[in-house]
Structure 1
Amino acid sequence: MVLKFVYIIIILMIWCMYPLTSAQYENGTITSAQYENKTIASPPGCDSKCGNVSIPFPFGMHDPKCYASNQFEIECRHNNNTSQGHQKPVPHLKYINLEVMYIDIQYGTVGIKNPIFHPGCGKTVTGINLEGSPFVYSQNYNSFVGVGCQNAAIMLSNDTILTACMSVCYEHLEKGNDIDISSCRGSYCCETSLPPYLSAYNISTETVEVKSNIKAECSNYLLIRAEYSNFKYEYDEYNSSYWVPTLGDLKKQKDVPAVLEWEIPIHTPNNSFPEFRTDAYGHGSYNCSYTNVTSSLYPQSGWRCSCSDGFEGNPYIQEGCKLSLDGRKIIIDPTKSYGKVAMIGVFSSIGTIILLFGLWRLRKVVRKKIAKKRKEKFFKQNGGLLLEQRLSTGEVNVDKTKLFSLKELGKATDHFNINRILGKGGQGTVYKGMLVDGKIVAVKKFKVNGNVEEFINEFVILSQINHRNVVKLLGCCLETEIPLLVYEFIPNGNLYEYLHGQNDELPMTWDMRLRIATEVAGALFYLHSAASQPIYHRDVKSTNILLDEKYKAKVADFGASRMVSIEATHLTTAVQGTFGYLDPEYFHTSQLTEKSDVYSFGVVLVELLTGQKPISSVNEQGLQSLASYFLLCMEENRFFDIVDARVMQEVEKEHIIVVANLARRCLQLNGRKRPTMKEVTLELESIQKLENQCNAQEQQEELELAGNEDSQFWAAYSTTSTAGQTSDSKTSTLEIMPILIK
């Protein structure tokens, strides 16, 4: 910072000696007039403000020449403002009739007031419809929130569930207390991320049965809101009064801030732009690129522009990007003499530099002390003392982990750029990063909000695990405002995305499904039995099963996991898990056992067999669990109606039945009747061996049939000599099959 001050003083000194007569940037000469009005937002003759909100082109008001198309038209209305006693103009996006809070052309976002919905029990309400417009709800900036007791908040589209979360209440609030909904964790309110490309949706609630004295409440609130840390405020009115951290604040509001992303559609009716904007003047003042913000069907559904480095302004209007002051080169005019002014400039500059140097030395010492105190504060705030306590008891193996600095991780993730986001969940956001040595990593930024239990829990557990099918922890960073964990990077996403978004180029074969199931079962068996202390994962689901470069399974996300003593048979905890995978016995008794993970694994196994999602929507029957539907089909002898068509084509029915029976045993309502993960692993490994024997036998038969006439004698000889072995192999396979079916 001090060096920047010195640089500015030197520039001012030269400016005092020689007034600026001309400046040159690269190969073009500019005059002082070209520096005026650098931040032109709208074409000439167009209003660029409505109230306190700037309206930059392609958005505009009044005249069609002031906006790109009718989809970007802003209507400036007057709302009554009783607090100020006069009419105040407020911008509205006319095409979708929503109030605008800000417009950002650099990041392609619009802040809006989004309504709060009160659907009531079992009813569906239609949300905002953005279809046909160049706008979608931002997945990175928004989240879906449900507030209520014993409710499942559901977002749907065409009777298909897009996302859902569940909020549970165990005790009544005392009078005077309020519910903190700034960060929902499933108690009184819940929060989940939005799906990509969200333009139209319906929302509803369903009641859920919970072992609690509090009954389900129909007076609930469902809303899409912008995350507080990511929302951009344009003026002070929204800085404090518009955010809703508690239920009391929420009851007073009709709407909350949300963020839309936008693009210029490639084919927009009455568009004043050409199909793709280019820098026709060849100055390189702005860049444009194709985007697919609003459509997942096409890689290029629209485009957006930005000013080039060294320029600033609006890239969507002619000559809207102007040279920035930081990017110019100054040319001194030697024909003019300013000796007196030069002397004053030189001495004042030297004195200022000496003063700044002394301040810089002093500031350096002070900053070291402040930085040390800040590190100590964040270390305690992020559970450093709790971690030290566990280190002293030998729970954490620090030899396997590294302590990263915030500077190192900030550089690796491009300062936690939103374009580096790999995924978002209840615990926090995961970013992709590259370390200085070129190693690709995943960095999780936790949402602690004063509760560091999940962060410390995941660090302690992963530091002890060393298994090829469990994601590896590389290190952490505690000396920051938000704690960070660093993992190995798993490149091919999670099992849920791969299974439910299959493509013909790399389909999920039966062998892959069976191998992934065996690998996950082996990892859970290791956690339950082979680790130094038994570990119950508590959130086994397909989104927490990652796939590496060879599509091998890696179990992840241990924030909800619990370690138990070897002698303990169960652990009594507050119910936590994911709707559709949650063990019913654990849900009703709050007693967590190893069989709870077995049930969740059974749901994953059914997902692999059927290719269906764990929760689906039925038109008039509400939500339907895949586990209960699978058990019903098994009882009614119509299981093959829901098996994935690709599985039916690849493998014989007898082999499918073996795996289906294993899944049914895992989904027993009585946990004692379920197998252990050790038994599940052994059975899946046996099934794999049978599959390999069958495949080898088929390949042998194909080779024998493909023999030419010259090798018929040797083929016949080989068949004769091994006939007994083949018969034995078939017999052993048929003998083992009924045992596995049972």
Structure 2
Amino acid sequence: MAVKYSKQLLLIVVVAVFHTKTATQPMSHPNCPTMCGSVTIPFPFGTTKDCSLDNTFLINCNKTSSTTSNSTAQVPFLQKTKRRVLNISLDGELRVAWPVASNCYTEKVALVDQIPQEIIMTYFPISPTRNKLIAVGCDTFGVFFAMDSGGENYTSGCVTLCGRRDEIVANESCSGTGCCEVSIPHGHVLTRVVYASQSIFSNHSSVHNLGPCGYAFLVENGNYRLEYKDLFKLEKEFPVVLDWTIGNKTCEQAKKDISSYACKADKSTCYHAGTKKLGYLCKCLEGYQGNPYFNHGCQEIKTDKLFLDIDECMKSNDCVKGATCHNFPGSYRCKCPTGYEGNGKNNGTRCSLKSRKELMLIIALSVCVSVVGLLMGSIYAYWVLKKIKLIKLKEQFFQQNGGLLLQQQLVKHGGSVEATKVFTSEELNKATNNFDEENIIGQGGQGTVYKGVLQDNRTVAIKKSKINDSSQVEPFINEVILLSQINHRNVVKLLGCCLETEVPLLVYEFVSNGTVYEHLHDLNQPLKLTWKIRLRIAKETAGVLAYLHSAASTPIIHRDVKSTNILLDENLTAKVSDFGASRIVPLDKSQITTLVHGTMGYLDPEYFHTSQLTEKSDVYSFGVVLAELLTGKKALCFDRPEVDRNLALYFVSSMKEGLLFHILDKSIDEPNVEHLKEVALIAERCLRVKSEERPTMKEVAMGLEGILVIEEQCWGSDNLPSEETENVLNGAPSVINVEDSVGGSGINSSYSYGTNQILMSVIGGR
């Protein structure tokens, strides 16, 4: 007996010497606190920025009042979560205290309090292997929702049931009666966990006396045993194990940058904490111990060859039959086989088969999870199939609307995406708020126009075409290509199109000041068009049509010239729009046969009767617009007497009768009567029934530009004397022979206008 006690005394002395030697090894940098209260703070953690590796590992050491005395004590808190730190291990584990989620109710089921808890650990994830979710209460469902570092969600939980009071056994494992537990999904880096307690029955009268509350909490494995009083009040914090690593690099990546490599000790090495965890950890080499995170932190273990660890697993131990023994320095543990629970020792809770209730609950939860997974999988599959169907439908529309032909034409013309951009339907849906009716700014025979704002904040006009005829695809694509190449300052710029919708969508620049029609006929318009502005609008519109007829690479007939298709920008500059009805004229033809298209009141009568479309059809329509600018009257108005309803006929008959000044707009402020007569004469010639008697648009544009230049000279010369102006006008040859005018029109047939010097500029694209 004496020998036995002497051996034990010697072992105690050796252990004391060993711990004395190892205790002197530094755990933090010099001048840095190593303790906060009773908790050791090893580097890379620290209580100040200078003492820690970075702000992630900063520990706040606060003074808190003691609950047992009037004194204060230092308590460490993790700065990122404000949770109390219980222990820090250099093996990559951090224990913190976390509160309990509760759900209390009265006997009549009215909720008294419901407090869920949430753990968000961006830098220190919850350990899935070292913690469990435990629910305590009667008829309580403990549930937790977890998210890993990859954004995946996990849901699990367990149910507690209560029958009689004598069924609730204290200090036993949580098998489902008054207490249940469930493991956290393994193999995942959990950065967020929300856990809560919920009631599972609507009537709690039968179990209310056994416990009026339900509780749920995360706790480190083996740190909770049920006590009967917990059913009535469980207000405490439980230890939760968090994982920590250095950064998010692998060992191989970290070693490349020596300055940031954390394994500073000479006798240290780097290792990975686990396959799912980001970052790395450091440890001392075999035979050394200490802190591997700063220089000389790993010290050689000096046992004086006296202290050797005894492997209890190799000798007799108290592990029960079937349990597996695991040795570690100074002690050992016994692990129960699969399907059993307990500490595996004869003097402990031994190993017991998991209860039937718990197994049935696990099976039920597995079935529920499977059903939910199947439902979610079905919803996802439906969403994928719907998206594939939508993609195929877009491809069908793209081909149906001539997308392949457009791509071929772009390559043929050397076009770039900048010249003609093909927009996606998502872009235009977002720009117009899914084509909201509040964004409609115009409607016509060719489609509806919406105002939209693109992602680059450009305001555009988006025309939803009414074309839905496969025979019109090739002409439509040709028009898109031609219009995208027109660079005329008085043509609304075509920015691109979208072909993956049922009907094509065209995207134009946005012109902000409305149409000529609105300015002429809307009584609520605050801005009235002066004669100077009207003349400039007429000249600019005529210039565009002349350019399309004669200066474009391939002649284009607009076919729908009217005041509603002439837009005005912020400077009241004319912009011709709506080329949806336009037609391309082959170079070897002067006319084409088409279905009659146009707007009543502006439609060429010869084209209406013969279906032969020529450039002179645009000339007639322009003549109606010019008459509108002169008279301020609508092209077709059923409120006027029958003989005056059609403006073109009314205007021509008034010219024949010499009544021009009776039909002029009263708001025209032009003092030069002769210029008004000359513009009226141009309009009258444009409106002749026979197309061969009409001038070309180039002649019209030159004539109007000549009048405008002389007008601007007069406006800019402080009103030249009338005699001098007369000499300027009479000294130049006439561009349009006025002797062909209708007799008796009240216009001086000997009067001519324009000069060769004034008309030096070529009407064309700018």
TM-score (norm 1): 0.49
- Determine which structure has more spread, i.e. the larger CA radius of gyration: 2
Higher relative contact order at CA 8 Å, sep ≥6: structure 1 or structure 2? 1
TM-score (norm 2): 0.47
